[in-house]
Structure 1
Amino acid sequence: MSQPNTVVVHILDKDYCISCPPEQRANLESAARYLDGKMREIRSGGKVIGAERVAVMAALNITHDLLHKQQRQDQQAGATREQVRTLLDRVDRALSNNPDELHG
C-alpha cells in the first residue's frame, strides 16, 4: 500500500484535510459526497439545527441504513444456504436411488 496523501473534502460548507492512500482517494471522495448529501438533506428539513447535531443525525441515519442492509443480507445468505442444503439433499437422494447411473 502507498503512503497516505492529503485529500481535501468539502462537507456542509467546510473543507476537511484527510490523510488517505492514493488508491482509496475515490472511495473517500465518494463517501464525503454521500455524507454531505445526507447532512444537507437533514439541515434542509429544518428540524435539526447546528452542524454537530446535523452530523450526529446523519451518522445515525447512515448507520441505521447500513445495519438494516446487513441484516437483509444475512437473512438472504441464510435463505441461500438453506436452498443449497435442500438441493444437496435432493442430489444425495437421487444418487443413492440410482447408483448404477453414475457408473453407466
Structure 2
Amino acid sequence: MIEEPLQVSIKILEKEYRIACEYHEQDDLRASARLLDNRMREIRQSGRVIGTDRIAVIAALNIAHDLIQIQRSRPNYGEDTNRRLRQLQDQVNAALVTEHDEQHPEPQRDAEQHTAQTSTEPPLDASDERV
C-alpha cells in the first residue's frame, strides 16, 4: 500500500502554511517550523531587520551557519559511519559464508572449487543505502 503525502499545517510568524510531507516526517517538519519561527521572532524583535522576507533569509542563513559549524566540529562523522558500515558488511558476509558452510558441508575435494566460487562472487554492497 502506497501512502499519500500528508498535509501538515504549520505557523510561522502568525502566517499559516500547509506543507506536504510523509507521515513519518511530520514531527520533524513541525520541529523545523518551530525552530524557524523562533529564529525569525528573535530577529524581528532585535529590530535590525525589517520585512518578513529579509527576516526569513537571515534566519535561514543563521540556521545554515549553525549546521556548518556542527558539521565542522564532527569532521570524521561521515568517515566513521562509512567505516562502521564496511565492518558490518564484512561481518554479515562472514556470517553468511559460515552459515552456508554449516548447512551445506562439502567433501574435502570440493573445498578448493568452493573457495574459487565464493571468491569470485561480489561482496554485499550497501554503500548507496541510507541509514
TM-score by length of 1: 0.70
Amino acid at match of 2:74: Q
CA offsets, 1:36-94, max 9 Å, x none? 000000000000000000000000000000001100010xx38xx7xxxxxxxxxxxxx
Root mean square deviation, CA, Å: 1.5
* Deviation for aligned residue 1:5: 1.0
Matching residue of 1:22 = 23
Q: What residue ranges of structure 1 are gaps of 5+ in the alignment? A: 82-104
Q: How many residues align?
A: 77
Q: For the residues of structure 1 that align with 2:64 and 2:22, how far apart are their CA atoms?
A: 24
CA positional deviation for 1:3:
1.7
Aligned-partner residue type, residue 6 of structure 1: Q
SS in 2 for 1:60: helix
Residue in 2 that maps onto 1:93: none
Task: Give, in whole Å, the separation in 2 of the partners of 1:20 and 1:62.
Answer: 21
Which 5+ residue runs of structure 2 have no aligned equivalent? 81-131
